[in-house]
């Protein structure tokens, strides 16, 4: 399962429209603090677990700014608030990219939901329909303007695909790209799976074919769905695939999207993951996606066909 697809929380959506229940729940709740000003950072303790506060210890926010995440298996309500991180002995601030893969199933689900919801609120202070200011309602799961027009959290579907040549064993290859938006001139040149947003009226599988052709000029087939996870930076749902690509076709990158693209063998990918240096050209070395990403999840699933 992708690292940010894990959760143990019951979202208990039927409570969102019950202000009396929410008010009573707040008094006995645990509260996760995320700070969107610092990129959605939260606190983790010395053991790497999320720090949650009792409601009376959490930063004070308006009632409508309390985001109801759900109910724990033991019945404890959990809320999130967007506020500067409080002081807490032994704790440090971290973001989801850094620690998502290290968190427990419970903490991964809490943090992913809180980060996505907080980012959405921070980016939607006005109604896209009326232009009027909006305030949060229904436990943080909607925003409403003074005319009563509601808007709901937006999730943008995006595909991400590990293109491979169909060969098993050490010599099997995958095609990875270095996004032009990541910049150049760094010591590490990061290569990742190809990705892009699903366009209106398009299936995720059609987006795979289109994006790969646009970005690297390769045709693909045998598309297989591998899993999904939220990527709240700020609000994507990443739909993960593998696809068979023709390695005999020349790679032709779209320079507005992809700065570099190349085929890597399983042996090379395994070496990079083991900490070995692989030359990326221009004095840089090859880097791979962060552990919390679905991109590395796809790469590791493909890599598993490397004999021990």
Region 212-223 average pLDDT: 97
C-alpha distance from residue 63 to each of 30, 39, 52, 122, 140 (Å): 15, 23, 18, 16, 10
Region 35-53 average pLDDT: 96
Q: Say whether pLDDT at 308 is over 60.
A: no
Region 217-233 average pLDDT: 96
Distance CA(262)–CA(178), nearest Å, equals 9
pLDDT in tens, 97-131: 999 999 999 999 999 999 999 999 999 999 988 89
Q: Say whether pLDDT at 234 is over 90.
A: no
pTM metric for this prediction? 0.92
- Model confidence band, residue 19 (pLDDT cutoffs 50, 70, 90): very high
Domains of the chain (ranges, CATH numbers): 3-151 (3.90.79), 156-303 (3.90.79.10)
- Model confidence band, residue 306 (pLDDT cutoffs 50, 70, 90): low
* Contact status, residue 119 vs residue 132, Cβ threshold 8 Å: no
Q: Smallest Cα–Cα separation from 153: which of 163, 143, 138, 168?
A: 143
Q: What's the confidence (pLDDT) of residue 290?
A: 94
- What are 188's strand-pairing partners? 285
Q: What are phi and psi of 154, to 5 degrees?
A: -95, 135
pLDDT in tens, 250-269: 999 999 999 999 999 999 99
Q: Say whether pLDDT at 206 is over 90.
A: yes
Average per-residue pLDDT for the chain: 95
Q: Say whether pLDDT at 185 is over 90.
A: no
Region 201-214 average pLDDT: 98
């Amino acid at each position: 399962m992708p690292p940010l697809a894990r959760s143990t929380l019951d979202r208990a959506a039927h409570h969102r429209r019950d202000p009396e229940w929410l008010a009573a729940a707040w008094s006995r709740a645990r509260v996760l603090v995320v700070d969107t000003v610092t990129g959605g950072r939260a606190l983790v303790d010395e053991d790497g677990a999320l720090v949650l506060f009792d409601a009376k210890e959490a930063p004070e926010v308006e009632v409508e700014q309390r985001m109801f995440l759900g109910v724990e298996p033991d019945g404890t309500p959990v809320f999130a608030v967007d506020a500067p991180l409080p002081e807490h002995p032994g704790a440090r601030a971290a973001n989801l990219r850094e620690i998502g893969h290290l968190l427990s199933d419970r903490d991964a689900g809490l943090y992913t939901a809180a980060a996505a919801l907080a980012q959405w609120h921070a980016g939607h202070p006005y109604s896209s329909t009326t232009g009027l200011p909006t305030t949060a309602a229904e436990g943080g799961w909607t925003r409403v303007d003074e005319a009563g027009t509601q808007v709901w959290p937006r999730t943008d579907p995006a595909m991400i695909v590990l293109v491979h040549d169909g060969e098993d064993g050490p010599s099997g290859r995958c095609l990875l790209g270095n996004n032009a938006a990541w910049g150049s001139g760094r010591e590490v040149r990061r290569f990742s799976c190809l990705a892009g947003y699903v366009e209106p009226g398009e299936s995720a599988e059609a987006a795979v074919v289109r994006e790969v052709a646009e970005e690297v000029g390769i045709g693909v087939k045998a598309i297989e769905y591998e899993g999904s996870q939220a990527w709240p930076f700020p609000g994507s749902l990443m739909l993960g695939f593998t696809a068979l690509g023709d390695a005999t076709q020349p790679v032709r990158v779209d320079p507005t999207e992809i700065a570099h693209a190349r085929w890597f063998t399983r042996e090379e990918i395994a070496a990079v993951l083991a900490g070995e240096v692989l030359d990326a050209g221009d004095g840089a070395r090859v880097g791979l996606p962060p552990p919390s990403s679905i991109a590395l999840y796809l790469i590791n699933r493909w890599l598993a066909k490397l004999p021990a």
